[in-house]
Structure 1
Amino acid sequence: MKPITTKKMRDDDVGEDDEPLSPAARLFQSSQLNCSIVIVLGSHTFIDVDAVKSGFLNSMAKHPRFSSLFVTDDKNGGKMSWRRTKVDIHKHVIAPELDPSMELADSFVEDYVSNLTNTGLDLTKPLWELHVLNVKTSDANATAVLKLHHSIGDGISIMSLFLASSRKASDPESMPSLPKKKRPGGFWSNCHGFWGVLFTVWTMILMVFNTLVDVMNFAATALFLKDTDTPLKGSAEDIGLSRKRIVHRIVSLDDIKMVKSAMNTTINDVLLGITMAGLSRYLNGKYATRSYQNERDQDRASKKGNHLPANIRFRSTLLYNLRPSTGIESLAEMMEKESKVRWGNLIGYVLLPITIALPDDLLDYVRKAKAIVDRKKLSFEALCSFSVGRVILELFGLKRTSYVMHKIISNTTMSFSNVVGPQEEISFYGHHLSYIAPSVYGQPQALTVHWQSYADKVILVLAVDPDVIPDYNNLCTDFEASLKLIKDAVIQSGATVRVQAKTGHKQD
């Protein structure tokens, strides 16, 4: 469906000037990068549809992006804009009549969400909708699915807005709280005088060198550099438009914190390490099929032998938010007073190398992840990718820019994301949530890995192309098994002694 083409304001439009789309939002509206966000919400209780409609009207529907049409101006070269309009909540909240005690409810919800990834959003209304599924699954007594176009905002902005519309489950009057980032510590942070100047100069040299390397890597990827063809990499021609399967698993945040504290890393390091371990375990099993025909032999081979090819090039695209995070308190005030706040897709891309190997020491996955993350912190890669993309967009237009970005993404294997959630369980319009599982689809990749923290748990969310990865549940299981094996390796190494004296860890 084409965007709405208008020449003048309609009677039902709010009398404000049209607001142009940001460069990133324009890319997300292109045919080659037409991406949407899906957030699956598990509820401890049956969902009251009327309460949800009322809650949306009094909060999220007041946000300009959730109450604006996407329009183009043919008289101005097809300029894309947001135009305020009245929200008909009944067209946005969809609640099919279902049997609450239906059998195979988990499969039904998975199929329902998958069907949503194969249907576009109605461009005659603001680009979001909420589906309420009042059926009991293994992880919740009811499920809601929020679907919205990625041009509305990046993942961090959307999650912040969602939390600003929520309240603590234990205290309905209080807003959720997010973990606070720790300030960098260690020897160098306390350096002053000569050593401080030396450290600053050396850091800037590393930043410049690393940025040059990363920019050249980006250019090479746009021109010719491709990842190795593995069982996780699909063909870019039609994979972005194909139906996706979005599945999740829930793991313990305490287990991840234990590994983090024992190895003196961050939670992000541990999650990336688990990702590398899970992908390596899965691929080793897939490559084992070349030597072992039946499933039992394949399973035995994947556990006892290394069947991975040497020197696999496996990279992930990582969206990096360049805008300082808007506090959820500011967003809550904005929705209450209908005032303005900084918003939009101000994001850059980072190419993240993923190690595919079977090391003798499983903790090497976390060590390698820490080295990769620390290296990426010493680079302006995200800022440069954003700036270069903006220049290309202004000079050559949307079509050529989206082609370049499509080429870069399709030459990598997967997307990776990690979003920090609330420290305590929350209530969404009076409904106590059991889990939050966000993901994105529409990019030319067969796999997206997303980690979402929520209270004392972390939700692993995979968005996969089932034609490329038909056994996606096995991939989830390999991630879970990798966390357990890494945790056991920490315990066996005796590194947990440092953990026992620590309590109340915060997420880094």
Structure 2
Amino acid sequence: MEVGYNEPLSPAGRMYLRREFDASIDSFVQFQNPVDMFAVKVALASLPKTCPRLRSVVIEKRGRPHWKELPSLNVIDHIIIVPEEEEEEDGNTQAYINKYLVSLPSMAAVSRNSPLWEVHILPKRHRALVLRLHHCLGDCVSLLALFLSCCDAPVEDVPISDVRSKKKTNFVAQLVKGGASVWQTLKGVLYTLPYAVAFLRHPYVKREELYLTVRGGLETAPRKMASVTLRLDDLKAVKNKLDATINDVFVGLVSYGISKYVGQKLVKEGMENPTVSGMVAVNIRGQGSKEILRSIQKKEKIAWGNKCGLFLLPIRLENKDDPLKFVRTAKGIIDKRKMSFEAIYTWKVCNLIPKLFGIENMAPLTYKFRQNSSMLLSNVVGPSGPIKLGTNLITNIGVTLSCLPGAIDVHLISYNGKAFLQFLVAEDVIPEPELLCLYVEEALTEMIANILNVDDVAC
């Protein structure tokens, strides 16, 4: 992949550069030992060679933003050393990282006069660094693959796509499935269009819709962040028992946690089983981070950039004693969305509208659509085994988005047998995100206990 004067930014990249968004992907990496500055510099020096966008700036050419490669790049200019601060001796490292990530949007924005990325080296005792990359560079999937390209990462011999392609399928079954997909697509379009129009006009899509709003608007709302680490084997156990996916279990856990968090308040206000408007970000390129990493290593053509679609996900808040019911509900909704190709449909529309009406009209519509939804969820598959940066073992990876409107953002990334959930919330809506994380952790514990104690779980 070569980037130069002749490559314009994609519609998504142009949108993320506008004032309405100006979004960045903020991720952190924790190490077993203190950060080795020499290893970090060597890794950063290799990344721009793999992705020329990291050594390019955005310029205006013929009225449109283009990538312009710089003749040279000094990686030292993109490294920020965070000074030591006096803290309590029992200060929590993860709490410090979360607080630092929340403070990033209030800091100086990434300079447009240089490549749009930064690396923040946190105080030595925290053994962590923060990667801040502008969203116009790519989405979480492609940027994770880029980071893995400079690490000592395990890569399976057989690509996932090849395994899927070798499965034998019956022609009649495929035909029936194809007909069902067409029908679900039509249903999805008929359902999505009025829902989307209503979203753009007013947040209350249905009478029972609960819009998690804040005073003063979401753009200026103070934020809080909390995180929880779950065992990936526990998620897989629930997945296998219910014949679901990790994403189904993820959405079920979040639904249960939010229902339990705000349930008592809703009962007092007389609202019965309201629905929270949510959206799920979906990677539509047909390749995950591992497959993109293989393409990078083999110097093949890479599905780079922002290639994520969205589908609407109404989350009903219910007072259920069995958290497995939330997973079944999530599975039913997500299965229909998959068959309707709603994520691909939204991505195609978001690329078509700028060509017809201009990005200046597309960005405010997309922003309002995002603003009127209460929640955004995403799930990124990370390395299945341990990886190192130089000789330093990576113990944890987390990711979140900044400068986007919304009451709750939940991002999951799996790594080395763990699933790390990062909650970014508006303080007026969720004043105690740590309690929400506790409910999610308790929900998974209850699910495992239910599976172990019950011989057969009816779906």
Task: State the TM-score, normalized to the length of structure 2.
Answer: 0.88
Report the alpha carbon displacement of residue 202 of structure 1 after superposing the two structures with TM. Answer: 3.4
Distance 2:213 2:57 in 1: 35
Equivalent residue in structure 1 for 2:277, among 315, 318, 325? 315
The equivalent of 1:399 in structure 2 is 360
Distance 2:160 2:396 in 1: 21
TM-score of the superposed pair, with normalisation by structure 1: 0.80
Identity level (%):
27
**SS of residue paired to 1:59:** helix
Which residue does 1:132 correspond to in 2? 121
Pick aligned residue for 1:118 from 98, 106, 123? 106
For the residue of structure 2 that corresponds to 1:221, the secondary structure is helix
Distance 2:31 2:49 in 1: 21
For residues 410 and 159 of structure 2, what CA distance do their matches in structure 1 show? Answer: 22
Q: Distance in 1 between matches of 2:165 and 2:442?
A: 32
CA–CA distance in 2 between the matches of 1:330 and 1:156?
13
For 2:196, the equivalent position in structure 1 comes to 218
Q: 1:32 to 1:262 in 2, by over 3 A?
A: same
Q: Deviations over 1:136-192 (max 9, x none)?
A: 4xxxx5111101111110111111212222214xxxxx5578994775999xx8544
Alpha-carbon contact 2:25-2:400 (below 8 Å) kept: yes
2:186 to 195, 208, 218: 208
Q: Is this contact kept in 2: 1:118–1:241, CA < 8 A?
A: no
Q: CA deviation at 1:495?
A: 4.0
In structure 2, what is the Cα distance between the partners aligned to 1:224 and 1:269? 28
Report the CA distance shift for 1:421/1:308 in structure 2 as closer, same or farther (over 3 A): farther
What's 2:42 paired with?
54
Q: Which runs of 4+ in 1 moved over 6 A?
A: 99-102, 176-179
Describe how 1:33-432 pairs up with structure 2 within 5 A.
33-60=21-48, 62-73=50-61, 76-77=62-63, 79-85=64-70, 86-98=72-84, 103=89, 104-106=91-93, 107-119=95-107, 120-136=109-125, 141-168=126-153, 175=155, 180=160, 183=164, 191-193=170-172, 197-226=175-204, 232-234=212-214, 238-240=217-219, 242=221, 244-287=223-266, 309-325=271-287, 327-334=292-299, 341-432=302-393
CA contact (8 A) 2:99 2:225 kept: no
Could you give the per-residue CA deviations for residues 216-246 of structure 1, whole angstroms, max 9, x where no partner exists? 32223223353678584336x7423555433
Letter in 2 for 1:88: N
- Taking the aligned partners of 1:201 and 1:229, their CA distance within structure 2 comes to 32
Q: Matches of 1:358 and 1:177 in 2, distance apart?
A: 46
Contact 1:417 1:451 in 2 (8 A): yes
Counterpart of 2:450 (choices 458, 465, 489) is 489
Question: Alpha-carbon deviation of 1:469?
Answer: 2.5
Against the structure 1 CA distance between its residues 469 and 420, is the aligned structure 2 distance closer, same or farther, given a 3 Å change threshold?
same
| Partner of residue 440, structure 2 | 479
How far apart are residue 389 of structure 1 and its match?
2.3
Give the aligned residue type for 2:84.
Answer: L
Q: Which residue does 1:32 correspond to in 2?
A: 20
In 2: Cα distance, 1:16 partner to 1:271 partner:
40
Give the secondary-structure state (helix, strand or coil) at the position aligned to 1:314: strand
SS at match of 2:82: coil
* Secondary structure in structure 2 of the residue aligned to 1:270: helix
CA distance in 2, matches of 1:311, 1:365: 13
Compute the displacement of 1:129 (Å): 0.6
Whole-Å Cα distance in 2 between the matches of residues 128 and 230 of structure 1? 37
CA drift of 1:468 comes to 3.5
Gaps of 5+ in 1: 1-13, 169-173, 291-306, 497-508
Deviation at 1:387, TM superposition (A): 2.4
Letter in 2 for 1:91: D
Distance across 2 between alignment mates of 1:41 and 1:161: 14
Larger Rg: 1
Letter in 1 for 2:279: T
The aligned residue for residue 17 of structure 1 is 5
The 2-side partners of 1:178 and 1:148 are apart by 30
More moved, 433-442 vs 382-391: 382-391
Q: Which amino acid aligns with 1:133?
A: L
Q: Which residue of 2 aligns with 1:437?
A: 398
Distance 1:37 1:178 in 2: 30
SS in 2 for 1:20: coil
Pick closer, same or farther for the CA change 1:99–1:412 going to 2, 3 Å: closer
Distance 1:360 1:436, change over 3 A: same
Alignment partner of 1:218: what SS?
A: helix
Deviation at 1:351, TM superposition (A): 1.1
Offset of residue 125 of structure 1: 1.2
2: CA distance, partners of 1:205 / 1:231: 31
Q: Distance in 2 between matches of 1:19 and 1:453?
A: 33
Taking a change above 3 Å as real, the CA distance of residues 252 and 105 of structure 1, as seen in their structure-2 partners, is closer
* 1:438 counterpart letter in structure 2: V
Per the alignment, do residues 355 and 59 of structure 1 end up closer, same or farther by CA in structure 2, a change over 3 Å counting? same
Instruction: Pick closer, same or farther for the CA change 1:82–1:265 going to 2, 3 Å.
Output: same
Match of 1:10 in 2: none
The amino acid of 1:121's aligned partner reads: V
RMSD: 3.0
Q: Secondary structure at the match of 1:204?
A: helix
Distance 2:415 2:159 in 1: 11
Work out whether residues 181 and 340 of structure 2, in 8 Å CA contact, stay in contact via their aligned partners in 1: no
Residues 1:38 and 1:177: Cα distance change in structure 2 (over 3 Å):
farther
Give the paired residue count.
Answer: 446
Structure 1 distance, partners of 2:77, 2:292, is 30
Tell me the amino acid that sits aligned with residue 233 of structure 1. T
CA displacement at 1:286 relative to structure 2: 4.1
Q: 1:361, 1:450 → 2: CA distance?
A: 24
